[in-house]
Amino acid sequence: MLKKRKKTEDDKSSAYDKITEQKTLTAAPSLGNTAEKTVIGENISIEGNIRGDEHLVIEGSMKGNIEMEKHNFTVGSKGRVEGEINAQSVRVSGQMIGNIKTKGKVEITKEADFMGDIRAKSISVEDGAYFKGSIELDREPHRKTALTGKSTTIATSQPINEPKTPMAKEADKEN
Amino acid sequence: MATSTGPAHSYSNTGPSLTDYTSMMLQMYFEALDQSSMAQVLDVGPVCEENITFFAQRVKRFHVCDMFLRLNRNRREGLPSKKMWKHLDYAPHSFDGINLWDFIDHINDDEIGRLVNLCHTLLKPKGMMIVTSFEEQSAPSQINSFVIQDSYRLIFRPQNHIDLPWHYRSNRALTNMLSEFASVKSFLYRNGVREFLCKRD
């Protein structure tokens, strides 16, 4: 069931009870409390687009696009989402197929099964996550230069071979 | 095609510990990738946050298709390993670079042939591919990520959630298997890592 967290206005919950398939869900406007969030429970399936002004957590099944540029979107560990996401930041712990666009951070946790393309300012991915897709980070000017490290440590290696020549023998190794 | 020198081995818990090192291959690879501001690179895993960030900050678009985890799942589900190739469903000539890391150490000779052929198709002309492989006596006790640090330093991080067989191949067998590509440079390190930088014609 759809659950409202940290809401003070009881009448808002009734609006969410009307959610049915093939409808677009628009979350109630935020009252300025940044901790407000809506949780779609694991026994709920939604088909349609969602536009909202508060944080959203999907623990159920969702097929459709999410538009919440100023709020956070989470696919919980039991959540299954198929759609395009545009949110302030995104965290994926469940299954997701679709593209993510955010001006903030994308977090892919180790339980996640993610297929899609990501455009974000930064990304974190835990070991163990399944990930098929692409990443495009918003790059700051000169960032590339700062990362360029010219290695001067060549003594630890030596070429094994040049093209089409026999490989070096064990005795050739540096030890 | 060259064959591996022996059957697949299981990892033991007593393998040698891996020491980090500075990768000459990686430095040459990035010098080539830096020639284009629109470079696109594919990495076959294991998924590694540091590598994703490192590459994504330096190339136009960084693609990840975790074949280690995919192969691991196929094995657990009893699916033939050949089914995993459908996940590398990219258009021909999509990439300027492909990171295979040590994935070839975990598949058999026939699958390597298929993988190399596929990578040749996916790379753009003059595109480059990086391959690593462990020497037999240096085989680690578990699957590891090659984690990129500053100045092309590589450290190893165990991936205990992945359990794959390990195949040792001689240098000659490996170069034969990669013969579809021009060999740019190969390196051998004290820690037993072999690096191969290959280029598509």
Question: What DSSP string runs through A102-168?
Answer: ESSEEEE-TT-EEEEEEEESEEEE-TT-EEEEEEEE-PPTTHHHHH-------TTEEE---TTSPPP
- Residues contacting residue B88 through CB under 8 Å, at least 6 positions apart: B44, B65, B67, B118, B122
What is the pLDDT at residue B83? 86
Q: Do A151 and B22 touch (CB under 8 A)?
A: yes
Does residue B10 sit within a domain?
no
- The range of the structural domain enclosing residue B68 comes to 21-199
Which residues 101-120 of chain A have a CB within 8 Å of chain B? 110
- Give ipTM to 2 decimals: 0.89
Range name among A71-85, A88-102, A139-153 with the lowest pLDDT average: A139-153
Is B38 within the bounds of a domain? yes
* Alpha-carbon span A48 to A82, nearest angstrom: 10
Mean pLDDT of A150-173: 40
Tell me the per-residue pLDDT of A97-154, one tens digit each, with 9 for 90 and over.
Answer: 999 999 999 999 999 999 999 999 999 999 999 999 999 998 765 444 444 443 333 3
Query: CB-CB: which of B153, B175, B187 is closest to A158?
Result: B187
Report the residue from A135, A154, A157 with minimal CB separation from B52. A135
pLDDT given for residue A139 in this prediction? 74
Of A9-23, A74-88, A97-111, A116-130, the poorest mean pLDDT is in: A9-23
Domain count, chain B: 1
Name the pLDDT band for A159 (thresholds 50, 70, 90).
Answer: low
Residue B14 falls inside a structural domain? no
Say yes or no: A168 contacts chain B, CB-CB below 8 A. yes
Contact check, Cβ <8 Å, B66/A131 = yes
Mean pLDDT of all residues belonging to chain A:
75
CA distance A146 to chain B (A): 10
Q: What is the pTM of this model?
A: 0.82
Minimum CA–CA partner of B88 in chain A: A132
pLDDT digits (tens, 9 = 90+) for B135-169: 988 888 899 999 999 999 999 999 999 999 999 99
Distance of CA A119 to the CA centre of its chain: 9
Q: CA–CA separation, B47 vs A115, rounded Å?
A: 13
pLDDT score of A155: 34
CATH value at residue B137: 3.40.50.150
Contacts of B171 in chain A (CB under 8 A): 160-161, 167-168
Q: Assess if residue B156 is contained within a domain.
A: yes
**Strand ranges (DSSP E) for A6-129?**
25-26, 37-40, 45-47, 50-51, 55-58, 61-63, 66-75, 80-82, 85-92, 95-97, 100-102, 105-108, 113-120, 122-125
SS3 of A11, please?
helix
**Taking 90 as the threshold, does the pLDDT of residue A33 lie above it?**
no
Average pLDDT over residues A3-12: 47
In a domain, B98, yes or no: yes
Q: Indicate yes or no: CB of B186 within 8 angstroms of CB of A151.
A: no
**And the tokens for A138?**
């918003």
Q: Determine contact: A169 vs chain B, CB below 8 A.
A: no
What residues in chain B have per-residue pLDDT under 70? 1-17
Residue A114 makes CB contacts below 8 A (sequence gap 6+) with A92, A95, A96, A97, A108, A129, A130, A131, A132, A133
Q: In terms of CA atoms, which chain B residue is nearest residue A140? A: B57
In this predicted structure, the answer to whether residue A76 has a pLDDT above a threshold of 80 is yes
What local confidence, expressed as pLDDT, does residue A16 receive? Answer: 41
Domain boundaries, chain A: 2-140
